[in-house]
């Protein structure tokens, strides 16, 4: 319950901040360009709080449903406009003004991401050093000369001090369908070497796990003790009587020393009864556990609905801090925002043509869970999460889909070429198509969210 509340509150904070930033972009540019703004609303539905500022014509609203917002401008298409205010109506403004007002929402999301990354880099963010774990024999990585214990230093001559930066750089090469990738490493953590990865035969759906396994390596993992951190209600573990804090000692009479060792045993035993010996408050107990079966990518495996206790200290030798001074952090913040924006757009393109799985689409449940996780980890991680979601919101709104900002911008570009506005009939048809498309995307997002929750 505590985790649920943390996720819910974090989600509301994230959406509230990013919607406010987006709508403020529309609001600020509209007012600067002489458009009268009637209402600035954060949220939809019944107003909870309304107010007016002194000498300000705009009504400010905080509404009940915190999943969006809007800026209502004076417009003859929505209501009658008095003659003396016609020059302040949005529809009467020149094309350049209307384009700027609509474009300002996504633009402010990108600017916010730059600011968030800048602050994150100034504060400093601690990540895991990119130390290589298992390397698959005769794989792309193995053929390039990568070995277990190597540390990634740079990818294509770009410094890569953490796993996050390394995976993003690798993903960038995969999305670009690059033939090769240069990876600078410290072999066994000491000897510098430059390796060339041949990516021509890389097969992956661009998911993080399949991407690395497709290349043939995995990050080094700290050996976690087999202690249960959380039990998912209704899962096999819950039905068998496992509780948080239980330590798995043996399975079917075989000693278990690490969490990953136990996970492998569970995955190999879908629907098969397992005798699990646990230690609980100094006593040894025996439980019968029957893993449920899950099928993914034509492979079946067992799962029981538990999460590991991760409350352990990461050794300093595996930690890396990414930090810049206030002045030098500006360029990395801009580059990071551009990198994530381009990757997001290219990933969407890959999904459209079927080269990336639609399982990568996430909805509000996943966003809420990650919002809670990042908030619990620390302020710098929460800033990074805010930046990524803000970029996603900016990119999504620029897609040429009616109802979104990108749809309006598409109409304005048509108007620029034809020298006349898109007809109301065509806009109505576009809105109907936009509703269908967005509804389809929402169904996929919620479906993926539910699958992740039930895993």
Note the pLDDT tens digit of each residue in 383-392. 888 898 899 8
Based on the fold, state whether residues 113 and 181 are members of the same structural domain: no
Last residue in a domain, options 291, 322, 353: 322
The reported pLDDT for the residue numbered 326 is 94
The CATH code of the domain that includes 254 is: 2.30.42.10
| 5 found inside a domain | no
pLDDT value for 346: 83
Mean pLDDT across the stretch 54-65? Answer: 90
pLDDT on residue 431: 80
User: 198 and 238, same structural domain?
Assistant: no
pLDDT exceeds 70 at position 451: no
Read off the pLDDT of residues 184-208 as tens digits, 9 standing for 90 and up.
Answer: 999 987 889 999 999 988 876 666 5
Q: Is 359 a catalytic residue?
A: no
Asked if the structure places residue 301 within a domain, the reply is yes
Dihedral sign of CA atoms 418, 419, 420, 422 in order? positive
Question: Rounded to an integer, what distance in angstroms lies between the CA atom of residue 146 and that of residue 134?
Answer: 10
The torsion angles phi and psi of 255, rounded to 5 degrees, stand at -60, 145
Write down the pTM of the prediction. Answer: 0.77
Confidence check: pLDDT of 144 > 90: yes
Asked if residue 395 has pLDDT above 70, the reply is: yes
Boundary (domain end) residue, out of 258, 289, 322: 322
Asked, for residue 267, whether it belongs to a domain, the answer is: yes
Q: Which of 3, 23, 80, 223 is an active site residue?
A: 23
Amino acid 22: pLDDT = 95
How far is the C-alpha of 306 from the C-alpha of 276, rounded, in Å? Answer: 14
pLDDT tier, 454 (very low <50, low <70, confident <90, very high otherwise): low
pLDDT band at 293 (very low <50, low <70, confident <90, very high): confident
Nearest Cα neighbor of 416 from 45, 86, 98 is 98
SS3 337: helix
Whose CA is closest to 344, among 392, 403, 294?
Answer: 392
- Distance in angstroms between the alpha carbons of the first and the last residue of the chain: 19
Task: Kindly report, residue by residue over 209-226, the tens digit of the pLDDT.
Answer: 678 888 999 988 887 888
In 150-291, the DSSP E strands lie at 151-155, 158-159, 180-187, 191-198, 217-219, 228-231, 247-251, 254-255, 274-280, 283-289
Assess whether pLDDT exceeds 60 at residue 1: no
Decide: 221 and 261 in contact? Cβ < 8 Å.
no
Instruction: Write out the residue range of the structural domain in which residue 203 sits.
Output: 125-222+314-322
């Amino acid at each position: 319950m505590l985790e649920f509340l943390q996720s819910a509150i974090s989600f509301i904070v994230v959406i509230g901040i990013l919607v406010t930033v987006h709508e403020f972009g529309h609001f600020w540019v509209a007012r600067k360009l002489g458009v009268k703004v009637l209402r600035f609303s954060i949220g939809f539905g019944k107003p909870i709080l309304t107010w007016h500022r002194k000498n300000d014509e705009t009504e400010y609203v905080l509404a009940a449903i915190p999943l969006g917002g809007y800026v209502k401008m004076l417009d003859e298409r929505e209501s009658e406009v008095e003659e003396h205010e016609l020059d302040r109506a949005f529809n009467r403004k020149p094309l350049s003004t209307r384009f700027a007002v609509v474009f300002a929402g996504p633009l402010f999301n990108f600017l916010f991401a730059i600011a968030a990354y800048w602050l994150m880099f100034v504060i400093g963010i601690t990540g895991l050093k990119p130390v290589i774990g298992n390397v698959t024999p005769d794989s792309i990585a193995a053929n390039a000369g990568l070995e277990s214990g190597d540390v990634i230093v740079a990818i294509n001559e770009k410094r890569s001090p953490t796993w996050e930066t390394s995976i993003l750089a690798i993903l960038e090469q995969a999305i670009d369908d690059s033939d090769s990738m240069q990876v600078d490493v410290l072999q066994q953590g000491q000897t510098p070497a430059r390796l060339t990865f041949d990516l021509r035969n890389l097969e992956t759906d661009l998911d993080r796990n399949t991407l690395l396994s497709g290349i043939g390596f995995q990050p080094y993992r700290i050996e976690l003790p087999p202690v249960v951190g959380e039990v998912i209600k209704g899962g096999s573990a819950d039905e068998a009587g496992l509780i948080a804090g239980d330590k798995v000692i043996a399975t079917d009479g075989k000693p278990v020393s690490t969490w990953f060792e136990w996970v492998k045993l569970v995955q190999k035993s879908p629907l098969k009864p397992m005798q699990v010996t646990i230690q609980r408050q100094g006593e040894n107990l025996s439980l019968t556990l029957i893993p449920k079966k899950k099928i993914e990518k034509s492979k079946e495996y067992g799962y029981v609905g538990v999460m590991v206790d991760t409350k352990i200290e990461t050794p300093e030798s595996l930690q890396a801090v990414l930090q810049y001074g206030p002045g030098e952090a500006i360029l990395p913040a801009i580059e990071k925002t551009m990198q994530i924006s381009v990757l997001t757009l290219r990933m969407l393109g890959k999904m459209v043509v079927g080269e990336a799985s639609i399982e990568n689409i996430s909805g509000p449940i996943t966003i809420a869970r990650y919002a809670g996780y990042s908030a619990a980890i620390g302020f710098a991680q929460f800033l990074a999460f805010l930046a990524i979601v803000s970029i996603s919101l900016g990119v999504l709104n620029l897609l040429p889909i009616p109802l979104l900002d990108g749809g309006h911008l598409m109409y304005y570009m048509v108007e620029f070429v034809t020298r006349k506005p898109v007809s109301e009939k065509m806009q109505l048809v576009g809105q109907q198509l936009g509703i269908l498309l967005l509804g389809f995307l929402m169904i996929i997002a919620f479906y993926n969210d539910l699958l992740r929750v039930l895993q």
